[in-house]
A = this chain, B = another copy of it.
């Protein structure tokens, strides 16, 4: 038998994410993906059970990539405030470096598919950060509010900045980044 060709799997994933960015959920199709990935449409079904399975696996895959990048350079001894800033910088960097992944996640996370496939809420993305928040709260550095709120202020404002930069509404800019980080910090700090 032949080996499974990692290039094919990768080509399919890449093609899917690109297409989803270009045309959206309503217009992607297995044959368009196959054509872009330069494989037969039937080949996709060697790697994935069906379209849903494919999209679901890709979502988990990309979310994992973001998740790892997000906590890069942070460990349990990192001071809370610094960690908070680093997470936001990591997020910004990931989103700008991986525009397609980023937009894919944005689109997927608002789609009913996520519930249908029971791929969990966006919360799970933050799993490695829960301890950090807990620590910040006991040290009275962070506000004594629901962890979800803290994480929201960490994730969404910076994500909006990234989107504005990608759309061309705003130029990418260290000053902007610092402003948003400061604002988010003001929101969550005790």
* Chain A residues at the B interface, C-beta cutoff of 8 Å: 21-26, 28, 103, 106-107, 109-113, 121, 123, 143, 145-146, 148-149, 152-153, 156-157, 160-161, 164, 167, 169-170, 176, 179-180, 183-184, 186-189
Min CB distance A148 to B, Å, is 6
Q: Which of B24, B112, B149, B169 contacts A112 (CB under 8 A)?
A: B24
Min CB distance A104 to B, Å, is 10
| Given A25-B25, A148-B164, 16 further pairs, Cβ under 8 A | A23-B112, A26-B28, A26-B111, A26-B113, A103-B110, A106-B110, A121-B164, A121-B169, A146-B170, A146-B179, A148-B170, A149-B161, A152-B160, A152-B161, A156-B156, A186-B189
Min CB distance A84 to B, Å, is 13
How far does the alpha carbon of A121 sit from the alpha carbon of B24 in the complex, in Å? 16
B26 in contact with A169 (CB, 8 Å)? no
Chain A interface helix/strand/loop/mixed: helix
16 A-B interface contacts by CB (under 8 A): A25-B26, A25-B111, A26-B26, A26-B28, A107-B111, A121-B167, A145-B183, A146-B179, A148-B169, A149-B161, A152-B157, A153-B157, A156-B157, A156-B160, A157-B157, A183-B187
Interface centre among A21, A143, A167, A183 (most CB of B within 10 A): A183
B111 in contact with A24 (CB, 8 Å)? yes
Q: How many copies does the complex hold?
A: 4
A179 in contact with B145 (CB, 8 Å)? yes
Q: Determine the chain B residues whose CB is within 8 A of the CB of A186 once the complex forms.
A: 186-187, 189
Q: Which residue of chain B has the shortest Cβ distance to A107 in the bound complex?
A: B110
How far does the alpha carbon of A156 sit from the alpha carbon of B152 in the complex, in Å? 8
How far does the alpha carbon of A143 sit from the alpha carbon of B187 in the complex, in Å? 13
